[in-house]
Amino acid sequence: MFFWKSRQVEVPMLVLSGVIGRYGRFQQGLSYLGIHRLIEQAFQNPKIPALALLINSPGGSPTQSALIAQAIRQRADEHKIPIFSFVEDVAASGGYWLACIGDEIYANPSSLIGSIGVISSGFGFTELIRKIGIERRVFTAGDRKMMLDPFAPLKNEDQEKVKSLQQSIHQIFKDYVVSRRGSRISAHNADIFNGDIWTGQQAVEKGLIDGIGGIEDVLQKKLGKKAKFIRIEAKKGFIQRYVGSSRHRLGLSEELLQSLEERWWWERLGI
């Protein structure tokens, strides 16, 4: 636990919201490159007593999750200050990875927490191109360069390779959670690593988070009633706002597919 005397303090509140990963020309998910400047902004005052993270993410890229976590933890360690994570609607998969940046994690009773696993998805179009009379021609140097080609039949060795990669990444994810949560994770709850998801209240019982509470209530109890929160978050530029609102009218099929994929990340959690 961390306590400060009741005095005027400014606490940066870094917002980590959205699907994690870089995607598309006009849309950008939550990525290290995209929020690097915001991380620097959060730590620009050397006298901050703590950092608050406001998280609302259904997951995404494990690599970007790790890069963001590493950057924030490194800066916090340099400043010798604690980090408190607060979950809004969801911290699932990579979103929970981000939540674990915090020394303590809090959520709403109905927040969705967990999904500690790895997922990949795609489509197969072999029957479609056959029906419409398309002949695909691909030339490679290297037997494995066409792995998971959606226009070729799925091979057993491709499935095995993907599964091996997923298991490796899953182990990295599990090791990270254990390193951050330690003994707070209930030893008899082996199911926390099976990709399942829980409400905030259930997550407390399983040791995935530390308690139920909102950012103002929790931090004012720790820092005093005079704590002032400075919200730091990415703002969409003019081009991103314009294209984001008119991509369908512009006929940007690539962006439409990316929007559908982003929508899928949220809807798989019922959000």
The full set of domains in the chain, from first to last, is: 9-118+169-267 (3.90.226.10)
Q: What distance in Å separates the CA atoms of residue 31 and residue 23, rounded to the nearest whole number?
A: 10
Lowest-pLDDT range of 99-103, 127-131, 222-226: 127-131
Q: For residue 23, what pLDDT band results from cuts at 50, 70 and 90?
A: low
What is the mean predicted confidence (pLDDT) over 106-135? 83
Please give the pLDDT value at position 247.
44
Q: Are 192 and 116 in contact (CB under 8 A)?
A: yes
Give the contacts of 197 (CB within 8 A, at least 6 positions apart): 92, 112, 113, 114, 115, 269
Nearest one of 33, 125, 57, 99 to 262, comparing CA atoms: 57
Please give the pLDDT value at position 156.
84
Please give the pLDDT value at position 212.
97
Percent of the chain having pLDDT more than 90? 49
Rg of the chain taking only CA atoms, in angstroms: 21
Amino acid at 237: G
CA separation, residue 19 to residues 11, 178, 209, 263 (Å): 25, 23, 21, 9
Please give the pLDDT value at position 9.
80
What is the mean predicted confidence (pLDDT) over 63-81? 96
What is the mean predicted confidence (pLDDT) over 20-43? 81
Q: For residue 53, what pLDDT band results from cuts at 50, 70 and 90?
A: very high
- Encoding tokens for residue 53? 């993270």
Give the contacts of 256 (CB within 8 A, at least 6 positions apart): 247, 248
Please give the pLDDT value at position 254.
54
Q: Are 98 and 204 in contact (CB under 8 A)?
A: no
**Higher-pLDDT residue of 3, 161:** 161
Q: How many residues does the chain have?
A: 271
Across the chain, the runs of DSSP E, i.e. the strands, are: 9-17, 51-57, 83-92, 104-107, 112-114, 197-199, 211-212, 227-232
Amino acid at 138: V
Q: What are phi and psi of 215, to 5 degrees?
A: -60, -40
